[in-house]
Chains A and B, each alone.
Chain A
Amino acid sequence: MKDSVSFRLNGKPVRLDVDPERSLLWVLRTDLGLTGTKYGCGESLCGACTVVIGKEAVRSCLLPVKAVRGKDVTTIEGLEKGGKLHPLQEAFADTGGLQCGFCTPGMIMNAYALLLKNPKPSRPQIALGMEDNLCRCAAHHRIVQAIEKAAAGGAS
């Protein structure tokens, strides 16, 4: 059954007529056409679908869209402001914290929430905070360096 669902997406209000049980991931990717958030496993095990709700990194694949009613949702498309990359995006690009790029949006969103909560994380804190985001190209070292670099520059 369709119903109205309203929330803020990347700083702008959206109102959808949608089955509220559908997942946020697929509503983003289909109805809203925001394909930066990826499907990787469908069971909250890989982090490719990570978005930030309020200040929390959340896996969007198992989250019904009704759960974000009235909330602030940020996706990878919302980080760039006026053509200027977010420092995390800059840092991932600069340090080579990506290869195939498929996990990258989820990595950056997870790191974004990590830095919101802890603007100057230690290396072990970064590794722990990123633990459940998977990267098959195994760019882990560069990803950690990118987050350190962004944190050093005051990314949050």
Chain B
Amino acid sequence: MSGARPPLVMPPTPSETSFSRRRFIRLVGGGIIVLFNADLSDLMGQETRTRGYPTDFNAYLRIAADGRVTVYSGKIEMGQGIVTSLAQMAADELGVALASIDMVMGDTSLCPFDNGTYGSMSTRFFGPALRAAAAEAKAVLVMLASEKLKVPKEALRVEDGAVFAAADPKARVTFGQLANGQKIVRTLDGKAVPKSVAEFRLMGKPTKRLDARAKVTGKAQFAGDVRLPGMLYARVLRPPAHGATLKSVDTGGAARIPGAVVVNDGGLVAVLAPDPETAEKALAAVKSDWDVPKPEFDDRTVFDHLLKSGGAGQESERKGDLAEGEKSAVSLFEGKYLNGYGAHAAMETHTALANLENGTMTVWNSTQTPFPNQAAIAQAIGFAKENVRVITPFVGGGFGGKSGGGQQAIEAAKLAKVTGKPVQVCWTRAEEFFFDAFRPAAVVKIRSGLDAQGRICLWDYGVWAAGSRGAEQFYDVPNNLMRTYGRWGGDNPKMHLFATGPWRAPGANLNVFARESHLDVMAAKAKADPLEFRLRNTSDKRMRSVLEAAAARFGWKKAAGPSGRGVGIACGIDAGTYVALVAEVKVDAASGRIRVVRIACAQDMGIVINPDGATMQMEGCIMMGLGYALTEEVRFSGGRIHTRNFDTYEIPKFSMMPALDTVLVKNDELSPQGGGEPALVPVGAAIANAVFDATGARLTEMPMTPERVKTALAAVRRPGTPP
């Protein structure tokens, strides 16, 4: 089954933009509408252009005759909080109450094309466009009000959804009155000027989540919560291993179970029933025989496999001359850093409900990429794309894992087409662990050198299977080379036996672990304080400021490691945001267990739209980071995945909570940067560095399990040396 996934993004047809545009304008109805495009080409670069991202518009905002403002966006809400922060932006720029905003997200029939919600791009790239669109809409409203009230534009003020004369507040007209009977369509021309930070009324203020009430009452709908009359629950026959082929199947037993419907259609073998338990029973009655390839490597031997299969690699950075660097070095260092496969393990498994009605296949889908999924579903069931509608209710966690090809949605749509009934496919936890596009197992090798002044003079970096995100050099290194052998998306098919994909801050968690661990190795050799060593080696002002802020908040005291105190520091850049983190650990030598006692983290993310939301994301990143650092690892041999549930894949729990302190370093000179991922990237390295500081043992593989800790401790406790 590996490699069977459709590509991440299906290219839109050439006519899509104009088609969408005409259709949307027709569908939207009256009012004042501003079409806008969040240009993602900066970030996506070549990838975007070759994938045919439409440049015309990908979102719009509408003010209706009742004064309600609706933002239509192909982005989705999966917990990251943009349903609130985007509403804040629109309300603030327009001059309406937050409660006047309705957000319509991730519905392919109501929202214009969007590539997907990932990469901490919503606030960074979508946000400015939305703000400009709201500013444009306000300009239109002021113009209309000026005509209506016969007051010059300059003499008008906007507040709480109404325009009024500054000199005579009784000369007043509401947005609803202005929009009534209008059909004004504007395309953003970039002339409207969004507010400056000083003018913010809602932006920059801590704001409660707009989805909180629905989520605490159980009313918030996820894809699996949609109920249609006569719907069937499907279970699909799965292979025992990736790469296995079906030799024979006997569904006779399943067909005899009352209520069960059997489908065996083009390789898709499924049983369906009016309730999930009957479907489960029927699946257990299906007899199947598979050819399973002999395993060639497993979770212990995968790293050698990656190094062997990586090929020549690609140079992503080069500066100076490595030979020169080596010559000026007084100490040379070599390090190898490892991280196994990781699962996304969102609490909501991949789920879809498909319903065929009047020639249109509607799919309620848990996805980060509704539009690419729409195209993939259409292709799989032989429908025109406009006859497939993907609706994205609240998504129960994504972390990159729901940006894949929409396999569950394709399965549901195929089964709905065959049976003529609405069909829900809700993956079991074992299916989730089996089909997850894992964070790839990966390797980093570093060769480095320090000169007589304790400055890094050589940096020779290679990364296998993770890509270079997070590895970009910000230390002042004159002789620097970086090579990348295969990216996280599994672009080198020889490397992996199963799907790999983006896992929150893809690649960066390992790259930062490797670089910042290696920095500490060098600092220790130079007998330098790890913070001082970093400051000595970087002139990057934003990096220095977050390092100093994190250290100050923690109460960092200078000492060369290992000091026995168990404190470690690490820093990185992700999604335009700078982050530094200090961790304090206790290591139990007998059990090998690391307990993270306290963390202080400082982040410079430019202008902060919702400080409460941003802080929540930082806290979530740090806590989630404990998992990749300490416990999370997928076990497998060949294509067989041994990890099937949370008993063998331990994600962070309440007992792991450290005391947590976060700092948002003010930087209102810079537009908003990413917030959903950055604080995750330094967690592993800060912990590894703290363990070294506590014990003198250096852990070079994540997760830092008790077994690995004990091995590392044994290596430093040579006979004749004190523990």
Q: Residues on A close to B: CB < 8 A? A: 19, 21-23, 26, 29-31, 33-43, 45-46, 48, 75-77, 79-80, 85, 88-90, 92-94, 96, 98-105, 108, 126-128, 130-144
Interface of B is mostly: loop
- A sample of 19 cross-chain residue pairs with beta-carbon separation below 8 angstroms, ordered by A number, consists of A26-B277, A39-B426, A41-B429, A43-B647, A76-B216, A77-B217, A88-B216, A90-B216, A96-B212, A96-B612, A98-B215, A102-B346, A108-B216, A126-B654, A127-B657, A136-B399, A141-B623, A142-B616, A142-B619
Q: CB within 8 Å of A: which of B661-705? A: none
Given contact pairs A42-B428, A96-B209, A138-B620, A30 touches B395 in the complex (Cβ within 8 A)? no
CB-CB under 8 A from B620, the residues of chain A are: 99, 137-139
- Report whether B653 and A131 are in contact in the complex, using a CB–CB cutoff of 8 Å: yes
Query: Other than the known A36-B217, A39-B224, A77-B218, what 9 A-B pairs have Cβ atoms closer than 8 Å?
Result: A35-B227, A43-B647, A85-B213, A99-B81, A104-B215, A127-B657, A131-B653, A136-B399, A143-B654
Smallest Cβ distance from B212 to chain A, in angstroms?
4
- Report whether A48 and B347 are in contact in the complex, using a CB–CB cutoff of 8 Å: yes
B646 partner, pick from A34, A46, A92, beta carbons under 8 A: A46
CB-CB under 8 A from A96, the residues of chain B are: 208-209, 212, 612, 616
- Report whether A93 and B218 are in contact in the complex, using a CB–CB cutoff of 8 Å: no
For A100, the closest partner residue in chain B by CB is: B79
Given contact pairs A23-B277, A96-B209, A101-B215, A134 touches B347 in the complex (Cβ within 8 A)? yes
How far, in whole Å, are A84 and B187 apart by their CA atoms in the complex? 43
How far, in whole Å, are A94 and B220 apart by their CA atoms in the complex? 17
A43 partner, pick from B277, B429, B651, beta carbons under 8 A: B429
Q: Residues on B close to A: CB < 8 A? A: 78-81, 208-209, 211-222, 224-225, 227, 233, 274-277, 345-349, 394-399, 426, 428-429, 612, 616, 619-624, 627, 645-647, 651-655, 657, 660
Smallest Cβ distance from A136 to chain B, in angstroms?
5
CB-CB under 8 A from B657, the residues of chain A are: 127, 140-141, 144
- Report whether B651 and A85 are in contact in the complex, using a CB–CB cutoff of 8 Å: no
How far, in whole Å, are A14 and B327 apart by their CA atoms in the complex? 82
- Report whether B619 and A139 are in contact in the complex, using a CB–CB cutoff of 8 Å: yes
How far, in whole Å, are A144 and B660 apart by their CA atoms in the complex? 13
For B617, the closest partner residue in chain A by CB is: A99
- Report whether B277 and A36 are in contact in the complex, using a CB–CB cutoff of 8 Å: no
How far, in whole Å, are A35 and B660 apart by their CA atoms in the complex? 34
Smallest Cβ distance from B120 to chain A, in angstroms?
15
- Report whether A127 and B212 are in contact in the complex, using a CB–CB cutoff of 8 Å: no
- Report whether A138 and B347 are in contact in the complex, using a CB–CB cutoff of 8 Å: no
How far, in whole Å, are A17 and B80 apart by their CA atoms in the complex? 41
Smallest Cβ distance from B197 to chain A, in angstroms?
23
CB-CB under 8 A from B217, the residues of chain A are: 36, 76-77, 79-80, 85, 89
Given contact pairs A76-B218, A131-B654, A101 touches B346 in the complex (Cβ within 8 A)? no
CB-CB under 8 A from B208, the residues of chain A are: 93-94, 96
CB-CB under 8 A from A80, the residues of chain B are: 217
Chain A to chain B: the 7 pairs with minimum beta-carbon distance, closest first: A36-B218, A100-B79, A102-B396, A101-B215, A138-B623, A99-B79, A76-B218
